[in-house]
Structure 1
Amino acid sequence: MSEIIYLTRIETFSAAHRLHSVHYSDDENVLIYGKCNNKYGHGHNYVLHVTISGKLDYRSGMLMNITDLKSLIKTEIIDELDHKHLDMDVEYFRNGQIVSTTENLCIYIWKKLEKALNTFNNDKNQNQSIKLYEIKIHETDKNTVTYRGE
């Protein structure tokens, strides 16, 4: 059998950020980002969906133990981002070259989890077909960004 399964874990975290690009003047930043360019930043209660895919392990009946996936997300993402200021506390965004938009946050989380999942698979000799399929972040109830590693 070769059924492909998609497994999603949902987690939440709270973080602050300021939308500001070093590639624009201060006036351009205000024009482009509006109130989100507040020099002290603003915060969100993010909802993160992490979806993995792969072939079902018929011995266990699982794609991946959800406890292991939860642990990976917690140690790689939540512990680093929760109750932090993305532009001040996260090296990826700190120098201002990468604006801490939700789009860029999706890409950052993808890179970290893809690497961690590959390491986990190798360390645990897991099903090598397990892949990161999608990162989805709800920034607000009305704004959602999805990234699939393209």
Structure 2
Amino acid sequence: MNKVRVTKSFNFETAHALYGYDGKCKNIHGHSYKLFVTVKGIPNQNQDDPKFGMVIDFGDIKSIVKSEVIDEFDHAILLNENSPHKQLGDNLMKEGHKVIFTSYQPSCENMLLDMVARISPKLPEFIQLQSLRLHETETSYAEWLAEDNL
């Protein structure tokens, strides 16, 4: 079958606070996130197609991830709408700040699952989302693998 995996990486800045957390991350703080998006498919075999030999154009991955993740999360603060942080977020929005209210605790793991849900349905039907890896710091990341979620 000759399936190939293709990965594109992205960088963005986001702040968050973890309500009820017992460490420093209970405070508003930010990260320089790095997201790796890996898809899987069979390279295009149509010699008359300008995308001949490609699983997917890297530009197509970029367009999807930019609209679904980067444009949304970059330079925003993520706060759990089901916590007292909702009031803080409302006040920040009144001051002109970009706030995203989540229905989840905005941990790296939950952010990653949100991104899977945003990206996966936007991919062409013949392309499978294989994995996402979200680095919160240089040495810490969460990873989602399709094979773990069959």
1:148 aligns with 2:145: yes
Letter in 2 for 1:90: I
The runs of 4+ residues in structure 1 deviating greater than 4 Å are none
Larger relative helix fraction: 1
- Count of aligned pairs: 124
CA drift of 1:84 comes to 0.3
Structure 2 unaligned residues grouped into runs of 5+: 47-51, 80-88, 90-98
The answer to which structure, 1 or 2, has the higher relative contact order (CA under 8 A, 6+ apart) is 1
Give the alignment's Cα RMSD to 1 decimal.
1.3
- Secondary structure at 1:63 match in 2: coil
- Structure 1 portions without partners, runs of 5+: 21-28, 122-127
The yes-or-no answer on 1:16 pairing with 2:22 is no
Percent of aligned positions that are identical: 31
Match of 2:126 among 121, 129, 136: 129
**CA–CA distance in structure 2, aligned partners of residues 81 and 46 of structure 1:** 10
TM-score normalised to structure 1 length: 0.78
Query: CA shift at 1:30, angstroms?
Result: 4.6
TM-score (norm 2): 0.78
CA separation in 1, counterparts of 2:143 and 2:21?
A: 26
One-letter identity of the residue aligned with 1:70:
K
Aligned residue in 2 for 1:36: 25
Q: Secondary structure at the match of 2:120?
A: helix
Matched, 1:67 2:59: yes
2:114 maps to amino acid: Y
SS where residue 8 of structure 2 aligns?
A: strand
Give how far 1:90 is off: 2.4
